[in-house]
Amino acid sequence: MIAPKAIAPSLPPESPLAGEPANGEDPAQRIAELEQRVAKLTRINQSLMDRVERHIDGQGSAFSLFQTAISLEAQVRSRTQSLEEALVDLERSYHEAAKAREQAETARLRLFTAIEAVSGGFALFDAADRLVLFNQDYLSFWPGMAGDVHPGMSFSDMVHLAVQRKSVIDAYRDPDGWVRRRLRQHAECQGPTAHALSDGRWMQINEKRTNDGGVVAIYTDITALKRRETQQWKAALAKKTTLLQATLDNIFQGVAVYDAQLALVAWNNEFVRLLDLSTRCVRRGAVFADFQRFNDGLQPHGISEPRFLDPQINPLPLRLEQTWFNGRVLDIERNPMPDGGFVLTFTDITERKRNEEALRDSERRIRLVTDAMPALIAYADAEERYQFVNAPYRQWLGRAETAILGRRMRAVLAPAFYDRCRAYIRQALAGQTVAFEVELPPTGASDPDEQPRYAQVTFVPHIGLPQGDQNRVILGLFTLMQDVTERRRADAAIKEANETLERRVTERTAALTALNGQLQQEIAERREVERALQSAKVEAEQANLSKTKFLAAASHDLLQPLNSARLFVSALAELEHTRKNRSLIDNIDVSLGAVEGLLDALLDISKLDAGAVSPEIVDFPIGSLLGPLSTEHQVLAHEQGLAMRYAPSRAVVRSDIRLLRSIVQNFLSNAIRYTQHGGVLLGCRRRGDFLRIEVWDSGPGIPTDQLEEIFKEFHQLHRGPMLGNPLGGGREGRTRAAGRGMGLGLAIVRRVAKVLDVTVETRSVVGRGSVFSVAVPLGAMTASAAPRRLVGDGGSRPLDDALVLVLDDEPSALMGMQALLSAWGCEAVVASTGEEALEVLARLPRPPDALIADFHLSEGHTGPEEVSRLRQAIATSGGDAPPGIIVTADHTPEVEALVKQHHYWMLKKPLNPAQLRALLSSMLG
């Protein structure tokens, strides 16, 4: 019997590749079948051998034995062949199984190599969540438990083991929660998840479900990435912190931030500066209790509000005003933060409080000025409600101020008087300035002989700024009333005298006709009448001259309070105001400017009519006159949206530069005021021995029949949408927003031209524009023709800390000048007499930088004399004598000559603040 060949042992069951199929057939199963077949053939062979042995008879027949042997041999040969074939098949199967096992081992080794070569940890779990396969990197991701991880271990056991060994930092804080989250992530394969390990590393887990229900997990070390992210986050946080601190340090408010534990986490420099805090309150680690202790040490100058000092009492936002121990007034706010804690904000409102008090004081002073003016002044809004009345207006109405302000005009004024004024009020609220005379209502007294009184009423609209593309807005109207009863009575008396005179002449003519025989006697009587008329004419001319002198004197006296009002308004304008108050101040300044222009014009006309103006004829380059005028009017033209062009000239003329400037300035002012589109041109043309100075404009033009009328006093034309005289105007050339002129500009031009003996010409085309020109004789360049230095030329410096002594016998002028100089940063000291000024000078720590004095002082003293005394006293004490400025409302040549004799500067009233500031800056610079 041939024994079957030994079968190769099968793979150990613990091998991960044991039992794997080869060529689609299980090798162990194939070997088992072959072994069964071999065992079966062996039993068959043994059975046949036994059968042969049992059937041989005892006689031992040779032939029978031979036949039996032959038969048995054939059967044995057949069985042996079958057995050999089975053994060959078994050997071939064994070789195939060995080859399959070798291939499986090779595949297993390659798989292990591939898994080990994977960058990161690799793990394979079967459908029962048991660990099947993993690499060494996978064990490195479990600090403290690498030796306990083995195939067949469930995922749940691994997670609990990680919690026990504290391999993951997330498991420290909430172990049960982390286990639940990790099991859910593994069961749902939620994509990449990151975990911090206890050894400082970070791992990222990517899990994916296999087709047979298992899970493949890839573990990646992302420590470097996390560190880069942490560094970037820290850098970004540091940058944001730096930007936040820079932002806090650059805001004008003091800011402090306290967290939920009331610890100071952020503050700025303004917080320390405003509160003058000690370093104990503003350092890292400081708490709100440190600030409370600092505040407790300041009582009673600290914060006494309990809700502020204890955030637990009232955690809601809190705001209060507090005067701090250093004198600052602070607006304090406390606002909570969403995550706990709060923010403190400190705003310095000291200046605002001072400005409010200064504004109230300025309002009181303005009211004092308006109450002292001899006119009835009132202001009503667009709904005709009174908002302001001065004392004369209240006295005229006979009511208290509380019974007037806020009420409509129809409810305050007498019904008949309001009905006469209603149409004019509507025109003013439509944007038109109107002036009319009206009879005043009776006072209500029981005097039966009371004569009616009349007033000149002017309504001026208050025009606001345009809003977007809309037209201008009318905010209200100003009312100015002046009693003209005496003037009307004088006019009536003159008219009656004229009528009486005409009646007498008529009667005398009838008598002459009736008494033709008495012709000689009548001629003598007519001569007597003629002499009487001549005498009346002389008296009328003298009366007219007296009237002119009276007007000049009255204008001079009005310049004093107007000068004080201008100083107060200029000082008020230097302060910070709300938009509404700024508009009121600007309107008052414009109104004062209009009054100033009117008074100047009246004063100039009075001087010209009285023959008090003597021209000072010199040779000078025309550019020294026209250049500054062009520069001054460039701004006005730009404000009106006009183009201002100037053609320079090198010509030299012979005239009075001051009077010629008045002519050209009125030409320019009129052209800019009443030109709505286009521009204005200033230039010169040579015409023989004369230089013609011309001002061209693209305005609406003047009708031919009005070219002579425009040179009359108070003559105004009404053309186009703007109201007012297109050619009259003040000396400074007001803008359209200031309303119409008074019709005196060209009247002054005609009188000045007569004094200078020059010719003024006018050409105009309606709808195209006008040309005004004056022909001046040419001169020769001499030393006197060199351009004079203007006030304010040269370098200047700020007026901060400049010490100025002001001498004036008018208290209002002193107050106004002191307020104006203080607003410019000067230190102003005042005195009303020369003796008082010497006493003030003795108390000063240093000599003043400049002296300012009024020309006419009390007890017959003059400003130049007192300034000379003060300069002498300063020089005697060893100081440098400061320069002097004389301010006067007396514009006569004698006064100007006296001031020049002392080598002092002279400024005329009403004082121009800009001119004074430029002069001070020039002198001190």
Report domain extents, the chain. Answer: 27-116, 118-221, 252-348, 374-443+452-483, 613-785, 803-924
Three-class DSSP category at 19:
coil
H/E/C letters for each residue in 743-767? CCHHHHHHHHHHHHCCEEEEEEECC
Q: Which fold has domain 252-348?
A: Beta-Lactamase (3.30.450)
pLDDT of residue 697: 92
- Predicted confidence (pLDDT) per residue in 842-873, tens digit: 888 889 999 999 888 888 889 899 999 889 88
Contact 123, 143 (CB under 8 A): no
SS3 at position 206: strand
pLDDT at 270: 85
Please report which residue ranges of 126-208 form alpha helices under DSSP H: 136-140, 155-165, 170-173, 175-188
Q: What is the CATH number of domain 803-924?
A: 3.40.50.2300
For residue 403, what are its two tokens? 């019974």
Q: What is the pLDDT of residue 734?
A: 38
CATH fold group of domain 374-443+452-483: Beta-Lactamase (3.30.450)
C-alpha 464/C-alpha 895 separation (Å) is 42
pLDDT of residue 775: 93
Which residues does the chain have with pLDDT short of 50?
A: 1-23, 57-59, 446, 469, 718-740, 783-797
User: What DSSP line would sit under 631-643, residue for residue?
Assistant: HHHHHHHHHTT-E
Please determine whether the domains at 613-785 and 803-924 fall in the same fold group of CATH: no
Whether the CB-CB separation of 118 and 135 falls below 8 Å is answered with yes
Question: For the domain 613-785, what is the CATH code?
Answer: 3.30.565.10
Query: Each residue of 219-246: pLDDT tens digit?
Result: 888 888 888 887 877 777 777 777 777 7
CA nearest 353: which of 324, 378, 313?
A: 324
Percent of the chain with pLDDT over 70: 77
Q: Which two tokens stand for residue 799?
A: 């007026």
pLDDT value at position 11? Answer: 33
What fold, for 118-221?
A: Beta-Lactamase (3.30.450)
Give the helix ranges, DSSP H, for 276-330.
288-296, 306-309
* CA pair distance 796, 487, nearest whole angstrom: 51
CB neighbours of residue 176 within 10 Å: 9
The pLDDT of residue 13 is: 38
